Amino acid sequence: MIPAKIKNVVDTVYEQVRKDVYGHEETVRLLIGGFLIGGHVLLEGPPGVAKTLTARTFATSLGLRFKRIQFTPDLMPSDVTGVTMFDQRSATFRFAPGPIFADIILADEINRTPPKTQASLLEAMEERFVTIDGERHSLDELFFVIATQNPVEHEGTFPLPEAQLDRFLFKLKMEYPGAAFEEEMIRKLSGAATTAESGSQENAQFSGAINRDVLVETRALIRQIHLDQSVSDYIQRIVAATRDHADLALGASPRAALNLALASKLEAALQGREYVIPDDVQVMCKHVLSHRIIFQPEIFEIEEEAERLLEGILSTVSVPERVAV
């Protein structure tokens, strides 16, 4: 059964990640789901809530190659993608690949680097290619970007442009883990040996790492979840409503509509269904659309305003009465 296979992969990876990451269950599950859909994820949260640890532990739980890129104001695009170098011994030019040539990339504090360096990820995230000196270099089919940013600190940062934000399937918030999880973390990680130390190597692998072929198969299975025309029409009307909203200068793109459909298929599978219902769309709407809509300049935007606006749209867009399964 397709949903059972998809849920089994998500649960297996989650059980590995939760050994090092305390709390954040919804965020971790959506991170896993974003990878299985084939999108990219933006993690937003204050310092010290395990954004980097979550990304690293997630990568090692899959047994995939992981690279962390610390984005700074002086980082150059070639520091990310690589550069063509002249080899004096052979008197030839050779390509020295950058850290982007891995399976899972952590773009840490992505908003601390200038737009020209942020743009070095655009082609990679959309087409899974990198063009250097006119030559295209392919990335792995499982290539996945996890980017982090601090929502509070703005000094010395460069807000991500709309084109960059639109390439992220989900924007997920990592809040403080809660008293019980925080106490457990303090007690366990303050000992002589910690699980965090055991998972600290970039290319370390858990013994239970999922086979790469299973990951590729799971991506294909998600797309087999049935999406009735009435639900696809519902998604289109939600996205169109963001473009017509008086408070918005920019609504959601066609790419956002496709991402919302795929995310809804994931939610349906996790709920044990082989078909999407409107409830799945509503659950995923804020995760997929909130970072893609831009308010009018005269509107004072606070963190929760986008979610409230989307809730208002969902309350006005008519829901399909019947869904063919």
Question: What was the pLDDT predicted at 191?
Answer: 78
Question: What was the pLDDT predicted at 323?
Answer: 86
169-188 mean pLDDT: 91
Question: What was the pLDDT predicted at 199?
Answer: 45
Q: Cβ distance 64 to 205 under 8 Å? A: no
151-171 mean pLDDT: 86
The answer to whether residue 87 sits within a structural domain is yes
The answer to whether residue 232 sits within a structural domain is yes
Those residues whose C-beta lies under 8 Å from the C-beta of residue 200, and which sit 6 or more positions away, are 56
pTM: 0.90
Residue 263 has pLDDT above 80, yes or no: yes
Same domain, 230 and 270: yes
The per-residue pLDDT for range 51-89, each reduced to its tens digit, is 999 999 999 899 899 999 999 999 999 999 998 888 888
CATH code at 65? Answer: 3.40.50.300
Residue 43 has pLDDT above 70, yes or no: yes
Domain membership of residue 75 as a residue range: 2-189+209-217
The answer to whether residue 67 sits within a structural domain is yes
Same domain, 236 and 135: no
The answer to whether residue 201 sits within a structural domain is no
For helices 254-270 and 212-223, the axis angle rounded to 10 degrees is 110
Same domain, 48 and 85: yes
φ and ψ at 246, to 5 degrees?
Answer: -65, -25
Question: What was the pLDDT predicted at 302?
Answer: 67
Number of neighbours of residue 129 by Cβ within 10 angstroms: 12
Same domain, 233 and 300: yes
Residue 154 has pLDDT above 80, yes or no: no
Question: What was the pLDDT predicted at 94?
Answer: 86
Q: How confident is the model at residue 14 (pLDDT cuts 50, 70, 90)?
A: very high
Residues 44, 216, 219, CA angle at the centre, nearest 5°?
60
Distance CA 112, CA 164 (A): 14
The answer to whether residue 77 sits within a structural domain is yes
Q: Which segment, 20-29, 84-93, 262-271, is predicted with the most confidence on average? A: 262-271
Same domain, 213 and 247: no
Same domain, 161 and 262: no
Residue 200 has pLDDT above 80, yes or no: no
Which of 110, 125, 324 lies closest to 230, judged by CA?
324
CATH code at 243? Answer: 1.10.8.80
Question: What was the pLDDT predicted at 198?
Answer: 45
The answer to whether residue 279 sits within a structural domain is yes
- What tokens were used for 15? 């059980």
Q: Which segment, 51-60, 157-166, 233-242, 295-304, is predicted with the most confidence on average? A: 233-242
Question: What was the pLDDT predicted at 301?
Answer: 66
DSSP for 182-198? HHHHHHHHTSSS-HHHH
What does the mean pLDDT of the chain come to?
90
Question: What was the pLDDT predicted at 193?
Answer: 56
Distance CA 87, CA 90 (A): 6
The answer to whether residue 302 sits within a structural domain is yes
Residue 126 has pLDDT above 60, yes or no: yes
Same domain, 171 and 240: no
Residue 202 has pLDDT above 60, yes or no: no
78-103 mean pLDDT: 89
268-281 mean pLDDT: 97
Question: What was the pLDDT predicted at 304?
Answer: 79
Residue 189 has pLDDT above 90, yes or no: no
Same domain, 107 and 138: yes
The rounded percent of the chain whose pLDDT value lies above 70 is 93
Distance CA 138, CA 130 (A): 6
Count the domains in the chain.
Answer: 2
Cα 115 versus chain centre, distance = 20
**Domain-terminating residue out of 199, 217, 235:** 217
Same domain, 237 and 178: no
Distance CA 141, CA 151 (A): 31
The answer to whether residue 198 sits within a structural domain is no
Same domain, 213 and 237: no
Same domain, 65 and 184: yes
Same domain, 184 and 232: no
